[in-house]
Amino acid sequence: MMHAEHLIAQAREGDTAAQGKLVQAWYKRIYNFTFKFFYDHDMAMEVSQKTFIAMHRNLGALNDTARFKSWLYTIAVNCCREELRKKKNSRAVSLHDFRPGEAEESYRWEVSAERNENPENLLRQSELADLLQTCLMQLSEEQREVVIMKEYEGLKFREIAEALQISENTVKSRMYYGLEALKHMLERKRITKETIGYEL
């Protein structure tokens, strides 16, 4: 932790090597956050890059290095919202919006994970991941931000509140309704303990 704070302090002072290390350390987290938010690789890459460029420009304004994590997520969320606004205003439809049919999703097989893994399990996990991502996309923008930050990024409610610049109670309320909505969506899709319990 001390090491991380030292790195952030160095980066704040304009050390490009330290800034590079920060990017390397946080890129995966920010990419995965934006990917789950958009469910689009290209958008996630673009927003991640914008986030780190904004981080570089504004790092000097960060007073408390201990709040770097929530500060970085604030930038990421703002970039996500900006992209979402642009996407809503633009009439163009991305080819990624047309989800391929199951038979066409051959790329799943191309992403070879472990050779020893059971292909049937791999397919099930991949289908479940797709389904969960679809459920996340059905949440409202505000609920989605909170759910991803809490469930996948492991932020505390206080950190989420700081990142989104809202009260902790509002964060918890959004989480509550987000979880309820997800629960109902999973029930509608017959994802219960009995049906997939053995896979988890």
Partner 1 sequence: MNYKPDEATLVSFLYGELSGEELRQVEEYLQKNPDERKRLEEWSFTRSTLSSLADKEVIAPPIFLEGSPRTTPFWKESYFRLPLGIAASFLFMIVTAKIMGLSLRYSGNELRIGFGATESKQEVPAVTREQVGEMINQSLQQNNHVLQASWNEDRTMLQKSIQKNLASASGKIDKLVKTASSANQEQVKRFVNQMQNENLKLMKDYMQLSATGQKEYIESLLVDFSKYLQEQRKQDIQLFQAKVNSVESNTNQFKQETEQILTSLIANTGTTNQRRN
Least distance to partner 1 from the beta carbon of 137, Å?
12
Asked if 31 contacts 45 with a C-beta cutoff of 8 angstroms, the reply is yes
Report how far apart, in Å, the C-alpha atoms of 138 and of each of 80, 131, 170, 187, 191 are. Answer: 16, 11, 20, 14, 16
What phi and psi values does residue 187 have, to the nearest 5 degrees? -65, -40
Contact region for partner 1 (CB under 8 A) — 65-73, 80-88, 96-104, 130-138? 130-138
* Nearer to partner 1 (CB atom), residue 36 or residue 69: 36
Which structure tokens are listed for 197? 């319990």
From 67-75, 78-86, 102-110, 131-139, give the range in contact with partner 1 by CB under 8 A: 131-139
Minimum distance of partner 1 from residue 135's CB (angstroms): 9
Burial tier of 122 (Cβ tally within 10 Å: 0-12, 13-18, 19+): middle
**61 lies in the site for partner 1, by CB under 8 A:** no
Position among 4, 78, 156, 166 found at the interface with partner 1 (CB under 8 A): 156
Q: Is 170 exposed, middle or buried (0-12, 13-18, 19+ CB in 10 A)?
A: middle
What number of H helices and E strands is found in the chain? Answer: 10, 0
Residue 106 amino acid letter: S
- Counting contacts by CB under 8 A, is residue 132 touching partner 1? yes
Look-up: residue for tokens 């994802």? 191
Q: Which residue do the tokens 């090491």 mark?
A: 3
Binding mask 163-192 for partner 1 (x = CB under 8 A): -----xx--xx-xx--x--xx--x----xx
Which positions lie near partner 1, rule CB under 8 A? 14, 16, 19-20, 23-24, 27-28, 31-32, 35-36, 45, 49, 52-53, 56-57, 60, 125, 128-129, 132-133, 136, 147, 150-152, 156-157, 168-169, 172-173, 175-176, 179, 182-183, 186, 191-193, 196, 199-200
